Structure 1
């Protein structure tokens, strides 16, 4: 996988880098990756392929099992590309425990749009006050369509299941992680956005300060 730079994303990333809304802060980041293997991708891809095949061989053959879906080579490649994208987004984190059921198909842009409209309404209002050339969602649609052609995309969301997952930040009120995958272009775009409580973050900072401060005096004779 290779990180791809696209100027249509720059404006959106700059706006969502640290959008302070008083008691809450909205953060968002959109990135594009080529599915072409680089570096250790081939070895990791082969390892993931073997893990998926082992999983398929040991899974029950019923309607709740993803065996049928991942029985095709193209579907397994899709899952591998998504996991490889995670590795490139957070190179210092081990995603070997990620399972297929952590990725959910949203099927269409409309599924994504409903979530975006529900959770990013305040961010959209801030955007509208500062920009007159279209809504935040419209700009996001244009940028995504230019880079990855939304009409040909499959849309997935990723659900972290561990508190140690880098997608889960301290003070997070909610977070979403979407992946737009175009098989023809062999390209993946990730878009993650979250809402953090400033009150929790400030309390954590203060608690961390006092905890560190107390540790200094633990070694002193008073």
Structure 2
């Protein structure tokens, strides 16, 4: 995978870089990648393909409606591999080769993405409108994505880390979403991740701190 620079994304990334909303901070990043293999991608792709085929061959539920059935299609396996490679490039210090197909919610729709974005990014959108009166944050995002990836031809996926060890889950995280827009014709993937962190936690006001404070009070009491 090769990182691709696109000017339409720069304005959005600059705005969503540590957007402080008082008790919360919104972080967001949108990136584009070519599906052309670079460096170790080819070797990892082959390894992932073999692991997937072994999993299919050893599973007793090949005919069931499961990830095994989904991965019986070579096209689906390629898609999964591209998504895993994209994650590896997004977080180069982490290995996502163990990610399973069920951790990607397949065939999401733009409307599904928009509903989640509108629900969780409403305060960020209001902040955007205070300094950018030409268009809303959603309209700007849609235009940028359409220019780079052609949304009408995209498959939309969301990723559920399902692991506390995942690097996308930061200390103090209140919520986190990872979406991928994949265009087979362009052989291109756009990733968009956005999350919310509690400033109370990141500033050191953790639950552990509260417990310690309570302990100090109880020390002076007769039990």
TM-score, with structure 1 as normaliser: 0.90
Instruction: Name the CA distance, whole Å, in 2 between partners of 1:112 and 1:176.
Output: 10
Instruction: Name the CA distance, whole Å, in 1 between partners of 2:80 and 2:159.
Output: 11
C-alpha spacing 1:18/1:182, structure 2 compared with 1 (3 Å)? same
Note the 1:67-216 alignment, pairs <5 A.
67-203=68-204
Question: 1:204 offset after TM fit, Å?
Answer: 6.4
CA RMSD of aligned residues (A): 1.5
Give the equivalent residue in structure 2 for 1:12.
12
C-alpha contact 2:35 2:82 (8 A) present in aligned 1 = yes
Give the equivalent residue in structure 1 for 2:3.
3
3-state SS, counterpart of residue 32 of structure 2: strand
Give the equivalent residue in structure 2 for 1:34.
34
Instruction: Name the CA distance, whole Å, in 1 between partners of 2:141 and 2:33.
Output: 17
Runs of 4+ in structure 1 off by over 6 angstroms are none
C-alpha contact 2:56 2:62 (8 A) present in aligned 1 = no
3-state SS, counterpart of residue 129 of structure 1: helix
Instruction: Name the CA distance, whole Å, in 2 between partners of 1:104 and 1:58.
Output: 23
Deviates more, 1:85-94 or 1:61-70: 61-70
Instruction: Name the CA distance, whole Å, in 1 between partners of 2:64 and 2:125.
Output: 40
Q: Provide, for residues 102-122 of structure 1, a one-character-per-residue CA deviation record: whole Å limited to 9, x for no partner.
A: 000253210100000000000
Structure 1, unaligned runs of 5 or more = 209-222
TM-score, with structure 2 as normaliser: 0.89
Instruction: Name the CA distance, whole Å, in 2 between partners of 1:71 and 1:115.
Output: 30
C-alpha contact 1:175 1:193 (8 A) present in aligned 2 = yes
Structure 2, unaligned runs of 5 or more = 210-223
C-alpha contact 1:106 1:112 (8 A) present in aligned 2 = no
Deviates more, 1:47-56 or 1:99-108: 99-108
Give the equivalent residue in structure 2 for 1:220.
none
In the comparison of the two structures, how many residue pairs are matched?
Answer: 207
Instruction: Name the CA distance, whole Å, in 2 between partners of 1:157 and 1:43.
Output: 25
C-alpha contact 1:153 1:180 (8 A) present in aligned 2 = yes
C-alpha contact 2:176 2:196 (8 A) present in aligned 1 = yes
Instruction: Name the CA distance, whole Å, in 2 between partners of 1:162 and 1:108.
Output: 25
Instruction: Name the CA distance, whole Å, in 2 between partners of 1:179 and 1:61.
Output: 27
Question: 1:191 offset after TM fit, Å?
Answer: 0.2
Q: Provide, for residues 105-160 of structure 1, a one-character-per-residue CA deviation record: whole Å limited to 9, x for no partner.
A: 25321010000000000000000111011000000000000000000000000111
Instruction: Name the CA distance, whole Å, in 2 between partners of 1:204 and 1:36.
Output: 45
Instruction: Name the CA distance, whole Å, in 1 between partners of 2:130 and 2:36.
Output: 40
Note the 1:44-55 alignment, pairs <5 A.
44-55=44-55
